[in-house]
Each structure stands twice: as C-alpha cells, then as structure tokens.
Chains A and B, each alone.
Chain A
C-alpha cells in the first residue's frame, strides 16, 4: 500500500515535469515554438523522463533487494540470542518473525526473542521506506534541476526521447524473452533432478506408469514406476481422434467460406465459427464429461459395445470441436490468398467449382493448410482441461478409443495437485513430462511457421 502511494506520487511528479519542461522550453523562445529544435511536447517528455526514470529505476531495485536485505539483518541480529536448537533453520524463524510482525498469531509461544526480532523487522521496514521515499524525492529533484538546465532552444529533445523510447522497447522485449528462458531453465533443472532419481531410459521407454512413491522406507508396494509410454500413447490417441474430427470439418468449412459462400454469408459465418474458439476449455470439459461421455456409453450399451463413461473418444471428439475454428479460420485465410487468376484459369477450362478446389486451389494452398493442421495438433497435445475432465486417470496402454486413457497433461495435473513434497520423484516427474511436452509442441510450431513462411514467399 505504501509502495502504491509512492508509485502514484512518482507518476504525478513525472506529469508535472512534463508540463514544466514544455512551458520552460516555450518560454525560452518567448512562445515562438518554431524557434525550438523539436515540438514543445518533446521537451515536456524530456524533462518528464529525467524526473521519472532514475527514481523509477531506484524504486525497482529497492523493491527487489529490500526483503533480502532486511532478512539478512534480522537473522544477524537474532543469531546472537537464539537457542542452539534453532540454529540452521533460519527460513522457519524468518517465517515466524514475519507473521508475528504482520500481527498474526504464531504457533507455539511468542518468545521475547521472537517478539523483539519482529519489532526490529518492523522498524527496519519503516526506515527502509522512509529512506526510499527520501532517495526518490531527491532523485526527482535532481533530475528536474538537471533537465531544466539542459533545455535550451537548440536541445535535440526529439532525438533524445526517441533514444529512450527505443531502450524502453528493448527492455520490454528482453523481459518477455528472459521469462521464457527462465521457465525453460526451471523445467530443465527440475527434470535433471528427476533423472537423478529415475533412469532416463526407464522414463522415456517404460511401459508402466504408477507414480506412487513411499513416504516411509517401511511402506511396501509403492516404489513408483515412471514409464511414460502409456501417457504418450494416450496423448497420441486423443490427439488423433481430435484431429480426425477437426481437420475434415475445419477444412471443409474453410473451403465453403473461401470459395462457395457469398460475402454476406461469409461475414456472418466466419465470426460465428470463431466464437467456438472463445468458449473456455473448462466448458468444453464438462460438455465432454457430462453430455458426450454418458451419451457414448449409452450408445455403446444399446449396440453391445463396451464403452467406458470416460473415454478417449469423448475427450478427443470434443477437443476436435474445440480445434475446428483454429483450422478453419487459418485455412480460410490461406485458401482465400490463392490468386483468383488460378481459379479463373481452371473455371475457364470448364472445370466445376469442386474440381477447381480439388485440383488447383487446395494443392496451391497445401503448405499453409498443413501448417494450420500442425498448429491444431500442438494445441491438441497441450490441451488439459477437457482430458482432465473426460479422458480418465488410469494409465492404460491401449489403442481402443472406447476405453479411458490418460494423457501427459492430465498426469502433470494429478502429480502436482494436493499437498506434495517438492523433491520426490513423483512431483519431479511432472517437470520431466512438461519438458517433453514443451519440446514436442515447440518443434511442431517451428515446423508450422517455416511451412507458412515458405508458402508466403510463393505468392508475394
């Protein structure tokens, strides 16, 4: 809350800096803006940046470093007075001190030493905040003074502001990239830890998945097996069913919209199809679990087939419906991009519309259509909610779409849900699965992008 006040104050000051800079620049040429090197607004931005940026940087640094610094100070102060049995568990102590400082009750008794530490903690926080506020105020003042001195009619404020903007953009891009790298690295390190507990080949090629590990050594029968093959076959099966639904329907509706429908119908039908993409997957999930699954089971009962109420068919079918708009929308764009002259050429030879589509338009659009399908596949592989709700949990090695199967994503969810220690093979397995999943979808997306690029070059 205090930090929020600080941030708002900084924004307000920066705004004031803007108007100050603008009017200062104008008054320096006695109101004749033509005599300035840049537009008056740029002088405003120039001063605003001088006011705001340095103290904003300080603010960021402080927010990042402060908790760590305070923790170190508190621990140092306490280590002198703490009894020996607490030695080495500073994390626990810090937790206690922090909750005490925040006014919560702590388990057990609040010893005087703890209470004292909590007070100390609060005092440090107060000092830190006051220090930060003072430092920021002086930075703003210094920036204001320095910027004002710099503003002369000849100052190239426009170019300077442009330079700062460029670095702001670079910073944003860097944050996005670094975050991605961070996620990959954390996946990678946890995966390496997992492979220290379970052999790599057992994971990749093992045929049995039962991720129960014992908590105590005297427990029996739960040593845990981490063979991922049943999960991958499950994922493949569901993905295959989903694509078997999505590709024909999506492609044909794309052909209809691009080649057959009048513009009026297309303008209505395309957004309607895209609405499908806006339905939350959890809604698809309970549609699959509560409507499609039981329906398939009833049909199975009537026809004498054994259909489990959570089946790969139900999950895959509904997932296919979810993917239709991706395929149809992308393919529609690609098919519409095939030059009209090719269609005319074929029609003028006396080909019918469907012959034209089949032998000229589709072959020309094929690379793009394939990449649309690949993007659909990577969505199907990564989809979680529908399979969690409708595909089942048992890791069976089967190719029968009427049985329940489990997928990689479902297992990641079940491995990480609930109270878990974060260093058992069971939880670490989730990271290994996640990494494999990431690798597969990454490769699929890269291939799809490459194909699309090639396709673009063909007609440009």
Chain B
C-alpha cells in the first residue's frame, strides 16, 4: 500500500501548479498587475451583464431631462438628448471591449501568421515581408486606422478591421523574433530529422511555443486598441449610431455642452482611462512574468 502511494507521489511531482495557485502567486508578486487584472475583470463582467446593470435604456431620449446633473434619477446625469450617461457607459463597455478584443485578436493572429511564415522560411520571403511591414509601421497607428476606417466606411466590423491593421506589423515583429530563436532549437531539428512536413513543424512544434510572447502582445495591444476606437469614434469615424460608444460620447456635440454640464465629458473619459489603465497594468505584469528576456528590465 505504501509503495503504491509512493508511486503516485512520484507521478504527481512534475505536475504544474494549479490555476488557483498560479493566480494567487501572481497576485502576491505583482499587486499592480493583479489590480489591472481586476479592472479588466470588472470590465468583462460589466459588458456581459450590461442589461442588468443599466438603469435606463441607453438609446432612449428624454426631452424632459436633458443635461441633467448627476443625481438620484440619473446617477451620472444625462446628455443633451436626455440619455442616461451611466447606462450608456455600461453599454459602451460592450462596444469598447468587443471592438478592442476583436481587433487585437484579428491583428495579432494575422500578424502572427505573417511573422511565423516570414521567420520560418526566412530568405527572400522574410526580406519582402519585412519591407512591407516597415511601410505599415512608418505610419502612426491612429493615422493608419483613420485612413482605413474612412476607406471602409462606418460600421462595427470595419472599425475592427481598421484598428487591427496597424496592430498586424507589431504582432508580426514579435512573433517573428520569437520564431527565429525557436527555429534553431533542438526539438525542431529533431522534428525535421523525423521527416515532418514544414506545415506540421510550423504549426505543431513552433507555434505553441510562441504563446508567451503572444499573450503579452495581445494584452499590451488591448489598451491601445481601446484608445484608438475611442479616438476614431470621437472623430465620427468609429462605431456608428445607435451603439453607445465611449469615444462618441466625448465627441464634438458633447464638447459644446461641456461648460454647462462637465459630467458629459468627465465620466466617459474616466471609463476609457480606467479600462486602458487596467489592461496596461495587466499587460506589464504579464510581460514581466511570461517574457523572461524582458524580466527585470521593465
């Protein structure tokens, strides 16, 4: 009996720490990162339960209560059309998070693929891809997204695509760098010696090992994707009506009433800042934890 227990212990020894333990350890070592994670969690929950959390219909106008200051009826006041700011911010979380996450994922997955192919095959493929990426990176993120969203026309899908395009070259760079080092590993050589096809080596053996940099990249980009969405919507080139969007709540029409009703400008901006702050904190802490090359550098 004792011998069997002994065997079980040995088998279980290399088991990795459980999810709860990992999360707890992360919280203790990186309190700021944990706070960021909490902010992101709040944002996700708000987006999921937006219908339950909102006190009013986010698009319903109320001519009797325009520009109402924060109070009991409207927690954060109303805008120039009498729409409830609190409910709009709550519902706006959905839009911002969805656009932010989707565009980051789209950009990182496509960019990552480009980086993988570019680094794995090297040579001319690599050279040409790198020059194309140089061109795309030569333009500021917002300018590129601006031109793209204008070119594609206003709709949620197009905003996602417009924001994802400037993310692609960054993702490609990060994944490329990581693949370049993985490519030289012995287990890749072993896979090649076994006669595996390129596609299988690239996707089964190289790709899973880039997951660390990939997670770091996506969390780091999430914040700037949310900011870009806000800026595009602010300029009237982002998420179209009737979806409530944080950026559009700040747009020129709101700015006109800002003197009379500062809450119109303050609260949506705070929502944006908190969301981006949370994902930045989390991204930084994840980078320190998952990316050993940057550990300690910050």
Q: Are A and B subunits of one complex?
A: no
